[in-house]
Structure 1
Amino acid sequence: MTNPDPKRWLALAVILSAAFMDLLDVTIVNVAIPSIQSQMKAGYSAIQWITAGYALAFAVVLITGGRLGDIFGRKRLFMIGMTGFTIASALCGLAATPGMLIGARVFQGGMAALMVPQVMAIIHVTFPANERGKVMGMFGGIVGSAAVAGPIVGGLLVQWNLLGLHWRPIFLVNLPVGIFGLIVAFRVITESKAPHATKLDLPGVGLSVAGLFMLVFPLMQGRDLGWPLWGWLMMVAALPVLAGFVLYERRKGQRGASPLVELSLFRFRSFASGILTNLTFATTLGVFFLVWSLYMQLGLGWTPLHAGLTGIPFSIGVSAAAGMSVQFLVPKFGRKVVQFGVLLMGGGLVLYIEMAKHLDQGFTSIQMALPLLITGVGMGLVVAPIFDLILTDVPTRDAGSASGLLNTSQQLGQAFGIALTALVFFNMMGTNATKAVDDMKPTVTRQLVAAGVPAPQADQVYASFKQCAVDRAEEKDPSSLPASCPNPAHPDPHQSPAVGQILANQGVEAGRQTMINGYETTLWFVAGGQFLVFLLMFFLPKNVRAKDPNGTSGDVEDAGSGTGEPVFAH
């Protein structure tokens, strides 16, 4: 670029603010989930859809969003996406029911998928090659800042309860940022399109969206609906739909048309295995982040702000290790860095599990700092350089398409992870409640006897208490009261107030312990997933290989930072 755009740094400020807004929105919601659940009386499946709906819409529209920018102009699509994202944020903040909130979140994810791919594309066409390293460093700082700021800002907004709005300001805070960004973007961003723009592959879009929805929807709704036959049939039917999508895209590519997905990329073993690795890694993280927030707030009884501040060591670990891995470690040690990173993550999670098991509800934020820092450092060693390793055999001319597929696999992994939470976490609530209440039996019966209940009758009261606790844990709607539980509005006249208070207090304890037991079980699943990712990484190249001007790659011992020319999700 001979004459760089004189307004490029103002343009960068706008597009980075949009990227920050998107990343902040992802992290901020997890902290607010318990408040949303309480205020809206939302069931467990609704909780999943509030997070996964955004990720799924983002995933299925991401490649399409990038291609639309190539065809109709990146500035235009950026502004359309940012406008839609801002409107969706307002709809989220004003939602009156869980269904309305889920619909607004899906819309928000779709608009983010139009906006986010243009960020990297605009950087690519706006900044000369010698400035892109600095720009990508700034972008990395934005990612780290959002990771740190999201839980803290979310915790503050929920705890302050501004104007009695409870969790709603976490979405409404996007409005002034979005409006100001649109005004400035209109003036400072220069329009650009792909040199040889092609038509959008609408049948490909339809097949991919249908297949992915048919696969994920039954996973997320199955528990609430009692795992009906149609759900299993829908998941089975998703496979031929996705196979049809692959065949259609292959034939379209063979005809020389413009497919939505460039399937020729999968002839590179490093890329094909990298997609699976990235999908698996993102799936385990999707499970972890949702359950972690529920554990701290519903299991340990912490406030949203307390939970948000507790995550700071994790975020610092991610940010610090990400910079070190790209600049210093990967050029020397290559693939070993990301493999060590996933093992470090797994080790940090195992340490966390053991500490949680021994400390139980006495687990403090200070005690969590070490395992969270270790886990964060491990994640930082992976997330920064893994794209370069996966894309290293891909010709430079296909880097945009390949990056779009990788980003899509990452978003899909998060959606799958949240869906699998229903199987790994929520589906075991009854089992975990049974274990929790069985462990509490000596304490409960001792307190009942001390309150004047005869020993034989204390056993009967305990049995009723256990049935209520288990039924409540298995309820699809956590706010509903099972028939086996006493109604607080109509207390048993044959039961003394002291006994009622004992059962109420122990019921709260049982709910928290159920959540803690489920969290520990889920963490073993996540840690096991990290080991699987470690094995899949053996199929990645040992080192990042530099590309020559003709688009081919060759092994180089000194590959610099491994970043080279930025890779763009469009």
Structure 2
Amino acid sequence: MTSTATDTSAGSAPDSTGADRRRWFALAIVMTAAFMDLVDVTIVNVALPTIQHDEGASTGQIQWITAGYALAFAALLITGGRLGDIFGRKRLFLLGIGGFTIASALCGFAANPEMLVASRILQGGMAAMMVPQVLSIVHATFPAHERGKVFGLFGAIVGLGAVTGPLLGALLTEWNIFGLEWRPIFLINLPVGIAALVLGSRVITESKAPKALKLDLVGVVLVTLAMLALVYPLTQGRENGWPVWGFVMMAASVVIVAVLIAYEKAKTRRDGSPLIELSLFKVKSFAAGIAVQTVFGLVMGIFFLTWTLYMQIGLGWSALRAGLTGVPFSIAVSVAAGISVQKLVPLFGRKVLQAGALLMAVGVLIYVYESGHYGLEIKSWQMALPLVVMGLGMGLIVAPLTDAVLSEVPREHAGSASGLINTVMQMGNALGLSLVSVVFFNVVEDHMKQGEGNAAFIDGFHSSLLWAAGILVGIFVLMFALPRKPAAGPGEAEAHDDAPTEREPELIG
């Protein structure tokens, strides 16, 4: 996706530098929208046990509330960016934020779990229209010499979202505003979304790409079908007794991927605008990076959902206590992310990312020991050590990973590559959430039958953590294929300047 902008509206008068005088107001609007999306991903996790209790949702529906959002987001992310290039970034941004606000209202007033799941899928789809425009609007609005400052602010927003989401979700759930229980975690988006919609229509300057790639709707359908064929049976299989059709669907997902690859090759030959630029996979570091992003998203999907259920259902903690327990993790992620990019990666390259994977694995194993040792009597402060270790490890990975993966990608494909990186992160997250049935709920159910009571959740959490630790070791090995020194050279730096990433990596899935 190219991001070279042509101004298609009069806009406001330029300042002495030739830039739009209203650019900082526009920045505030698009950053608010990005913050809404980041918080919405994390705010839901802490409220899931309350939603399950109040609405009588099944375990499969609980998984779909989060996985549905991630799946819709991933499937439409690249298409959302291309629609902005073709029809205008401002137009798609406003459409996305308007749809996101409506979907949030539908989530907040959902009459049953099925409506909530459907509304979350719609919300994810609207986020895919909104979020890719954020950095594209920044590139179209700000001169090059100001973008470093802007991207620094964006990083701060990402860190703030990581800390704010779980706490805000916990507080809104705990306060039970107007007797609405969990619903304010979605309804809070309404005034913010409406304000962003009204103000954004006034201060954001329209821009398009002069030569945008064509849409690949067939590719979108095939990607979505492949993910659904894999995710649906994993999510629903346990509740349905692992029927034969589930295994048939999972096998069909492999066939659909093969069809997708053949179609994308044909699309490349025909008009040069495939959804997935397959030639990128000839770059070893990119192919390895895509694998790292996918399995990293998988780990995040498994950990955060099982962690929430372990604390609130297994240990019987309130949403607020669970949210506060996670604060050390979020702070550690933010601190390590800043240090890794500014200080460590320029000196040590990929070793920083590998150290992050091993550090996360160590934190996970400490958690395995502590949760088993203290059992149901474990205290929040006793969880601080493994969470801080895990957070530091995660911070060493998430901030520099995208640049490391992109550093050997040809400049003409930088935009497509960055969009694909963030897409597979969300797909991995959706897959991880679906695997919770296998690595967590199966274990809990088996141990419940043995009369263990709430202690069964400790066993389920142990199972999830051991899976996470094993996957993190695999990530460490995959990282050997990344460049030793991922810092971009002059050509790549220019490419990154011309082709913004379509989505920053999520700190919490």
| TM-score, normalised via structure 2 length | 0.93
Match runs of 1:39-438 below 5 Å: 39-434=54-449, 437=451
SS of residue matched to 2:21: coil
Cα distance, 1:221 vs. partner? 1.1
Identity of aligned residues (%): 56
Are 1:513 and 2:455 an aligned pair?
A: yes
Q: Number of residue pairs matched?
A: 488
Deviations 1:297-347 (A, max 9, x none): 111111000100110000000000001100110000000000000100110
1:349–1:527: 8 Å Cα contact kept in structure 2? Answer: yes
Give the letter aligned to residue 345 of structure 1: M
Q: Answer with 1 or 2: which has the greater Rg.
A: 1
Cα distance, 1:350 vs. partner? 0.7
Residue matched to 2:502: 569
Cα distance, 1:366 vs. partner? 1.1
Distance in structure 2 (CA, Å) of the matches to 1:380 and 1:265: 26
527, 543, 557: which one aligns with 2:469: 527
Distance in structure 2 (CA, Å) of the matches to 1:317 and 1:110: 31
Cα distance, 1:82 vs. partner? 0.3
Distance in structure 1 (CA, Å) of the matches to 2:468 and 2:213: 41
1:132/1:550 CA distance change after superposition, 3 Å: closer
1:397–1:551: 8 Å Cα contact kept in structure 2? Answer: no
SS of residue matched to 2:485: coil
Distance in structure 1 (CA, Å) of the matches to 2:173 and 2:155: 27
Q: CA RMSD in A?
A: 1.7
1:353/1:68 CA distance change after superposition, 3 Å: same
Cα distance, 1:520 vs. partner? 1.4
Residue matched to 1:448: none
1:208–1:245: 8 Å Cα contact kept in structure 2? Answer: yes
2:84–2:91: 8 Å Cα contact kept in structure 1? Answer: yes
- The structure 1 segments of at least 4 consecutive aligned residues displaced by more than 4 Å after TM superposition are 549-553, 563-566
Distance in structure 1 (CA, Å) of the matches to 2:491 and 2:404: 19
Are 1:15 and 2:19 an aligned pair?
A: no
Distance in structure 2 (CA, Å) of the matches to 1:202 and 1:385: 31
Distance in structure 1 (CA, Å) of the matches to 2:425 and 2:488: 24
| TM-score, normalised via structure 1 length | 0.83
Distance in structure 2 (CA, Å) of the matches to 1:303 and 1:210: 38
Q: Which moved more, 1:195-204 or 1:183-192?
A: 195-204
Give the letter aligned to residue 256 of structure 2: V
1:147/1:309 CA distance change after superposition, 3 Å: same
Distance in structure 1 (CA, Å) of the matches to 2:196 and 2:267: 39
SS of residue matched to 1:131: helix
2:415–2:499: 8 Å Cα contact kept in structure 1? Answer: no
2:414–2:499: 8 Å Cα contact kept in structure 1? Answer: no
1:395–1:551: 8 Å Cα contact kept in structure 2? Answer: no
Match runs of 1:460-499 below 5 Å: none
